[in-house]
Structure 1
Amino acid sequence: MAKINLRPWREELRAEKQKQFVVMILGAAIVAAGLAFLWKSDMDSRIAYQQSRNAYIETATRQLDQQIKEIEDLKRKRDELLARMQVIQELQGTRPVIVRVFDELVRTLPDGLFYSDLKKTGDRVDIVGMAESNGRVSTLLRRFEESDWFSDPNLTNVAAADSRRTGYSEFKLSVQQQTPEPEGEDK
């Protein structure tokens, strides 16, 4: 019988299988590295996309904040203008009142009496004047009581006038100004 040595063939087969194993390991490592690279690229791409979205949202938020601030400024200016308009309307409505007050001051003034100083503080009018007699001051107080434009006359002082005006008395009084209700209006 012939002797056949199978050992080199087995060693060649083992070496061949070992080479295939190494090639397969290297191939698997390359495929794994490729998959890892693709996964990392995909994640980087997603992160970059999300960051761009976040940047867009932040930009839009800043723009909206700026618009909100402008709206608040406009509302504040609008409120200031409305307040000014209200004051102007009130002044327009009360403009004829001061004319009527002066007219009423003249109507209530009896003969032999004159005013030397008028001062208005709020609704109170302080009057300093000269009278020929105390009876004329009493007449003035009665006329203020009867007036629609004045109420609560309060005489604070009656004294003899200085030496230049002999026969006159100096008086000080205060009276409250009121605006009468317009005629023809029912409450």
Structure 2
Amino acid sequence: MANINLRPWREELRAEKQKQFVVMILGAAIIAAGLVFLWKTDMDSRIAYQQSRNAYIETATKKLDEQIREIESLKRKRDELLARMQVIQDLQGTRPVIVRVFDELVRTLPDGLFYTDLKKTEDKLSIVGMAESNSRISTLMRQFEESDWFADPSLSNVAEADNRRAGYSQFNLSVQQKTPEPEAEDK
């Protein structure tokens, strides 16, 4: 007798292949979902790591900004202290000069003449005084010319004094103060 297969083998084969296809699709979907999950987890961890680095950099930047402000403040204080030290050194350096200037003012003062007002502006000395005669004023100007500490005397005004100083002339004189050579200071 002949073997005749009456089973629906084609439908079974098709159903089997369809099951395999569905299993393969589900397997591929599960693998793809797993890969997507791993990729997302990796990206999240990288983002978290970068955010922590950014936070560290921001914290370090804030600390550096504070240090920069502190350094600038210290530099300002240092500059102020240096300026104060310079002023003190200038004052210490010019202290003997003032004494010498007053000493020279007394040395150049002829008899019959006295000062009523002295004003110093930078290197210019303005003098207001009283003199018995105009010749005493010219003697004062000659002595200023000969002095190592003064130069360029300039007489701006000579007037008769008020009643309290009868016989005296009031004068306004300006003279440049100069710094003498070192050997002139030793005299």
Q: How many residues align?
A: 185
How far is the alpha carbon of 1:180 from its aligned partner? 0.9
Which region of structure 1 is more displaced relative to structure 2, 51-60 or 105-114?
51-60
Which region of structure 1 is more displaced relative to structure 2, 7-16 or 130-139?
7-16
What's the counterpart of residue 67 of structure 1?
A: 67
How far is the alpha carbon of 1:117 from its aligned partner? 1.4
How large is the RMSD of aligned CA atoms in angstroms? 1.9
For residue 7 of structure 1, give the secondary structure of its aligned residue in structure 2: coil
What's the counterpart of residue 108 of structure 1?
A: 108
What's the counterpart of residue 53 of structure 1?
A: 53
Structure 2 segments unaligned to the other structure (5+ residues): none
What's the counterpart of residue 146 of structure 2?
A: 146
Q: Distance in 2 between matches of 1:40 and 1:7?
A: 50
Question: TM-score with structure 2 length normalisation?
Answer: 0.89
Q: Deviations over 1:121-158 (max 9, x none)?
A: 22111111111122111111111111111111111122
What's the counterpart of residue 23 of structure 2?
A: 23
What's the counterpart of residue 83 of structure 1?
A: 83
How far is the alpha carbon of 1:110 from its aligned partner? 0.9
How far is the alpha carbon of 1:2 from its aligned partner? 4.4
- Percent identity of paired positions between Structure 1 and Structure 2: 84
For residue 31 of structure 1, give the secondary structure of its aligned residue in structure 2: helix
Describe the shift of the 1:104–1:184 C-alpha distance in structure 2 as closer, same or farther (beyond 3 A). closer
Contact 2:148-2:184 at 8 Å conserved across structures: no
What's the counterpart of residue 130 of structure 2?
A: 130
How far is the alpha carbon of 1:184 from its aligned partner? 8.4
For residue 39 of structure 1, give the secondary structure of its aligned residue in structure 2: helix
Which region of structure 1 is more displaced relative to structure 2, 120-129 or 8-17?
8-17
Question: TM-score with structure 1 length normalisation?
Answer: 0.89
Which region of structure 1 is more displaced relative to structure 2, 3-12 or 124-133?
3-12
How far is the alpha carbon of 1:4 from its aligned partner? 2.8
Mapped pair 1:177 → 2:177 = yes
Q: Deviations over 1:18-64 (max 9, x none)?
A: 22221222122111111111111111111211221122122222222
The residue identity in structure 2 corresponding to 1:59 is T
For residue 167 of structure 1, give the secondary structure of its aligned residue in structure 2: coil
Q: Distance in 2 between matches of 1:113 and 1:69?
A: 61
What's the counterpart of residue 167 of structure 1?
A: 167
For residue 148 of structure 1, give the secondary structure of its aligned residue in structure 2: coil
For residue 164 of structure 1, give the secondary structure of its aligned residue in structure 2: helix
Q: Distance in 1 between matches of 2:18 and 2:159?
A: 136
